[in-house]
């Protein structure tokens, strides 16, 4: 299967128009896939034209990088792997997060470990996972610049960073991509972040482009999440919020029926229509969902479709915060 390619901003990093968020394969969204099934799934994604895979040190922790590295080893040179640094983990191995840490010497240690787990000589795209308020972003960008000079990293990225941070980092080491939550359910980046990215020639990689599954239309106010599922603690997934936001799903359904598509395909096609340098990374563990998502890359929405979706997803019309306050503080938006 051939998927159209997109370039992330003015960088030379060209990837499939849709990437794959790998976190959910074995972390954060309930019961993980068995390793054999996860490896087969990643291979199937490559066979279907996906060339952009997203992981991070903290997913697992560590095991997601190992999984991605093992699965994609036969496809070296044909795929791009993005990973992230920025959270410190308890060295005793109990998976406890100790907070953010982007000290230059720590970044370099993390990268050495990630290279081994990913089974690569160079990391295609290295993101700072979350901004560290204790380390000047210029120092972070400088550390990544060193790693690029040493041939251990190709491109530098930021995640959930605000405009000021993006500008300061970009002045030291060009930023190829910003990863940020962006979807019909979360449009805050449109105010300041997206215009800044356009000005500076930086690509946007939206995570949770399907609203952590909500925009697929498969949830109702009666949907419940296991305690091991990250969504169980998010305000937008309370029964009240799921009920209040159902009007958006009704609209997606209506447009999907007109276009012989699914709500998920409409939501992804909307994102792809925003800018040519946007590459969403929906995550899934199911092959039929992956194929459904890929179908969005050939779906062109009409001006009427786009206008209806714009009006229905203005910030004031979405009920519930995306994160508890403690987590929202870790973002730079």
**Enzyme catalytic residues:** 59
- Do residues 38 and 6 make contact, with C-beta atoms less than 8 angstroms apart? no
User: How many other C-beta atoms lie within 10 A of the C-beta of residue 15?
Assistant: 25
- For tokens 């276009």, name the residue: 259
CA 9 – CA 23 distance, rounded (Å)? 24
């Amino acid at each position: 299967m051939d998927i159209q390619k997109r370039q992330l901003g003015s960088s030379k990093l060209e990837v499939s128009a849709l990437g794959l968020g790998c976190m959910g394969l074995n972390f954060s969204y309930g019961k993980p896939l068995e390793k054999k099934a996860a490896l087969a799934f990643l291979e199937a994604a490559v066979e279907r034209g996906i060339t952009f895979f997203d992981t991070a040190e903290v997913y697992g922790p560590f095991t997601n990088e190992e999984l991605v590295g093992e699965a994609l080893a036969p496809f070296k040179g044909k795929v791009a792997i993005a990973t992230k640094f920025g959270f410190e983990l308890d060295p005793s191995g109990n998976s406890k997060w100790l907070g953010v840490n982007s000290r230059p010497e720590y970044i370099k240690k993390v990268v050495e470990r990630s290279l081994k787990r990913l089974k690569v000589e160079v990391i295609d795209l290295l993101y700072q996972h979350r901004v560290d308020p204790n380390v000047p972003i210029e120092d972070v960008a400088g550390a990544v610049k060193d790693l690029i000079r040493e041939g251990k990293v190709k491109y530098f990225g930021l995640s959930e960073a605000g405009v000021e941070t993006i500008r300061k980092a970009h002045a030291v080491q060009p930023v190829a991509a910003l990863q940020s939550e962006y979807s019909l359910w979360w449009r805050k980046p449109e105010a300041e972040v997206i215009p800044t990215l356009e000005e500076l020639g930086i690509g946007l990689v939206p995570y949770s482009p399907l609203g952590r599954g909500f925009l697929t239309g498969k949830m109702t106010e009666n949907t419940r999440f296991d305690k091991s599922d990250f969504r169980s603690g998010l305000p937008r997934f309370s029964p009240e919020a799921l009920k209040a936001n159902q009007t958006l799903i009704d609209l997606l359904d209506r447009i999907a029926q007109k276009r012989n598509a699914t709500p998920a395909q409409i939501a992804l096609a909307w994102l792809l229509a925003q800018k040519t340098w946007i590459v969403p990374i929906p995550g899934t563990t199911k092959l039929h969902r992956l194929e459904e998502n890929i179908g969005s890359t050939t779906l062109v929405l009409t001006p009427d479709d786009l206008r209806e979706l714009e009006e229905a997803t203005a910030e004031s019309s979405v009920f519930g915060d995306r994160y508890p306050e403690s987590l929202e503080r870790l973002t730079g938006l």
